[in-house]
Structure 1
Amino acid sequence: MQNQSFVTEFVFLGLSKNPYAQKVIFVVFLCIYIATVCGNLLIVVTIRSTPALLGSPMYFFLSFLSFLDACHTSATTPKMIIDCLYEKKTISFGGCMTQVFAVHFLSGTEVIVLTAMAYDRYVAICKPLHYSSIMNSRLCGILIAVAWTGGFLHSIIQILFTFQLPFCGSNVMDNFMCDLYPLLKLACTDTYVFGLLVVTNSGFFCILIFSMLLVSYSVILFSLRKHSTEGQRKALSTCGAHIAVVVLFFVPCIIEYARPPSNLSFDKILEVFYTVLTPLLNPLIYTFRNKEVKSAIRRLWNKIIFVSVEK
């Protein structure tokens, strides 16, 4: 089917129509966005500038995850913040498709990175004697390449089908960002098959990976009974942070995509959660109880202050 789209732009209704509420949203989400980007980039810079951390696969993946979180929130949040200053919130057709591609590309990549991090913890705790030989730099590089490729394939499949949808009616989207289900509601054709594709490619995929991760972390936690008390404490602290991030990422995505399109009132709340709040919480979760990262951040901060004073 050829694309018969007559729509050149979409209009967002945003999170609120109240002018005062929009000002509050502008200030709150601007602060959250700055904190999110700075927090995640601080982790990236800290790990990249600390050889002891960069040499560890766990922190190598963590730096990559933080980079993805900074990019993921940047794909939607700045547009939402700027839109709070305008009564009419619009996005071009091309801009909308780009936003959909970026969000699902980065999300798909992050799913695989979280899976790689779970595998890293499994090898470290269940096969400690073989850890260095299994989790070598070559395998880490392959896993990152797989993550990029998997994220691209996940996103490109959906965006190619989206381009085929005809938009010839209303262009008003009750949302603050472009996403698949809001676009399906505006398409002037039967979208049942495409809806099934979204449920399969996003929803069931998330359920499958989430289930696998829960099983893998259950195996890891079960195997801890053979470790010393100190080893159990350290492993539980690390795995606890990983599990918290996995739950924060997957649960909203499963609720959002593992069902047919509907007019559920909390859809926008879910999207705010996994596009704005989750990238903010991830660096806090990983660093709050991680002494190595906190010490490295402190050393980096002292080095920056020392260089500034020397100048």
Structure 2
Amino acid sequence: MYVSHSRHVRAAIAAAALITASTAAGVVSPAVASADTAQAAAPAVAAAPAVAAAPARFHEAGDLFKVLQFPTLPGAVSGSAAQPVSAEPTPPPAPAPAPPPPPPTSVTPEELARIVPGMPPEKIAQYIAPLNDAMAHGGIDNPVRQAAFIAQLAVESDSFRTFEEYASGSEYEGRADLGNTQAGDGERYKGRGAIQVTGRHNYESVSQFTGIDFVANPELLEAPENAFNTAAWYWTSRNLNQVADSAGIVRVSELVNGGHHALERRVADFQRGLDVLIHP
């Protein structure tokens, strides 16, 4: 059978490649055993040059990468270049939020009834919430302050029976110290609220503080929430918490009333309030 010259050449090259690979692996391929037969069957073709068995070069994977000019195995780090990987420092735990301050101690309806024995029961139920709200906003938050505050309000409002002065207010007419500079100011701005805010000047000041126009609408001071809020405004505007803590009930009474009117009752109500609030 005729075999072309080109086929002989290709066969020789393939045989050489197989011999090299098999020698490197230490295995003799059947193609080597048949190489002489292939040469004998094709006498017209020049014998292919002998291929020397190549020494085994690729014993380890590292050798192969060196031949291919890789300095290190892909993904590996050389010993000299290896650096310890430091983890990000763990941030310290956030401090726990501070607990909210305890709410001010409220006066119970039963305590108010004992402090002001003449107070009508229906008024206690109606007034206890706005009274406690006003004391909380005014920092009236300990037994001394609360007893002094309630004692003054009880006298000024006739045991919380009224938030409007019984008298007409005509005696305040023309009182420049109260700001009554216009005709009719005495009656218009007579005592109102739980602490009997009196005079145009005080009505103007409490209007600025609350945002409610008591100058144009003086009767709004008689509403329970306004009556107690304005009493707390009067109390704090004259720093009566500090006075109650240090100077005592007589000085508080002078700053509220301007004198010693019903002083014995104010002192008695204050003492009773302390007894109730300290020993409930």
The alignment's TM-score, normalised by the length of structure 2, stands at: 0.25
Larger RCO (CA under 8 A, 6+ residues apart): 1
The alignment's TM-score, normalised by the length of structure 1, stands at: 0.23
Bigger Cα Rg = 2
Q: Which has the higher helix share?
A: 1
